[in-house]
């Protein structure tokens, strides 16, 4: 079976970092694009439609979109944006001070929950100021420690973004948030191997009940719902954009049988893997 739509992997960039100011650019992408880097899209004004992992977001301005490495996106026709676009990889992020690592985990380890943030006027103006300085540095002639300076700007932007996301953090126990962030970090790397709450609770040295309770407090979802969400999102990507059979996808996601995977997928999406794939094939052929 052929992929349903052509998908292009984002090309590599020098030092795994890129930033630019976007001025009324038409961002229509002919094909779907799988991100090789994390991306921050700060939209001062604009219009159009952004599709991320099958979810549509109407662009209206005064917003920030966070797209994680591995996600698949496309801008539909006539999408125009004024603002800033920042892409960064793990090797570049390692240059930022370790004190910012929690911010990255909060924002990108569960990207689907943080896809769009809505800063107020003051926050948006502050992001624009920081991005303008970052772009000026990125486009200037090279100098000693230039990359360190840009990494410092990125750290500040990430901390400010995390503050928007965690505006009510003081309502929760800080230790709970630390464990939740660690859980999301482990899950982002291990969801294709481990599916049970018990597995992650053991890695975190806490009880499954406590893990589920703190997830509920921090995200309004149980640990099991979060785990299933990660697995389902990747299953949807593979069904829509790859030529792998249902059996091969089940193997990649560590299900014992294709029947077990099909039961899981239908329970979480109300559609079988075959019908889900068939739906997108019909869209692609104009049926």
Could you give all domains of the chain from N- to C-terminal order, each with its CATH number? 7-167 (2.60.120.280), 171-284 (1.10.10.60)
Q: What is the pLDDT of residue 205?
A: 95
Instruction: Tell whether the model's pLDDT for residue 112 goes beyond 50.
Output: yes
pLDDT at 170 over 70: no
Which pLDDT band holds residue 213 (cuts at 50, 70, 90)?
very high
Count of other CB atoms within 10 angstroms of residue 170: 7
Q: What is the pLDDT of residue 125?
A: 93
Provide the pLDDT for residue 271. Answer: 92
pLDDT for 54 equals: 80
Per-position b or e across 30-68, b if 16+ CB within 10 A of its CB: eebbbbbbbbbbbbbebebebbbbeeeeebeebbbbbbb
Share of the chain above pLDDT 70, in %: 87
State the pLDDT at residue 98: 66
Report yes or no on whether pTM surpasses 0.85: no
pLDDT per residue as tens digits for the range 40-82: 999 999 998 998 988 889 998 899 999 998 888 988 867 888 9
* Integer Cα distance of 191 and 177 in angstroms: 20
Mean pLDDT of the 276-282 span: 76
């Amino acid at each position: 079976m052929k992929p349903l739509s052509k998908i292009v992997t984002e090309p590599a960039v020098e030092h795994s970092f890129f930033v630019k100011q976007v001025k009324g650019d038409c961002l229509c992408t002919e094909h779907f694009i799988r991100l090789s880097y994390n991306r921050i899209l700060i939209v001062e004004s604009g219009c159009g439609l952004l599709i991320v992992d099958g979810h549509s977001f109407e662009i209206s301005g005064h917003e920030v979109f966070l797209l994680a490495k591995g996600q698949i996106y496309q801008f539909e026709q006539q999408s125009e944006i004024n603002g800033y676009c920042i892409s960064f990889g793990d090797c570049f992020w390692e240059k930022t001070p370790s004190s910012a690592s929690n911010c990255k985990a909060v924002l990108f380890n569960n990207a689907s929950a943080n896809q769009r943030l809505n800063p107020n006027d003051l926050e948006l103006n502050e992001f624009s100021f920081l991005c303008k300085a970052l772009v000026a540095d990125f486009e200037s002639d090279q100098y000693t420690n230039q990359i360190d300076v840009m990494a410092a700007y990125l750290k500040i932007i990430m901390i400010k973004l995390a503050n928007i996301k965690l505006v009510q953090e003081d309502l929760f126990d800080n230790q709970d948030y630390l464990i939740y962030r660690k859980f999301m970090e482990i899950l982002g790397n291990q969801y294709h191997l481990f599916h049970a709450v018990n597995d992650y609770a053991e890695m975190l040295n806490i009880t499954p009940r406590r893990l589920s309770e703190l997830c509920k407090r921090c995200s309004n979802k149980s640990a099991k719902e979060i785990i299933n969400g990660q697995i389902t999102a990747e299953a949807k990507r593979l069904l829509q954009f790859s030529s792998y059979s249902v059996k091969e996808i089940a193997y990649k996601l560590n299900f014992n049988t294709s029947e077990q995977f099909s039961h899981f997928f239908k329970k979480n999406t109300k559609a079988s893997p075959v019908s889900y794939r068939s739906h997108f094939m019909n869209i692609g052929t104009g049926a």
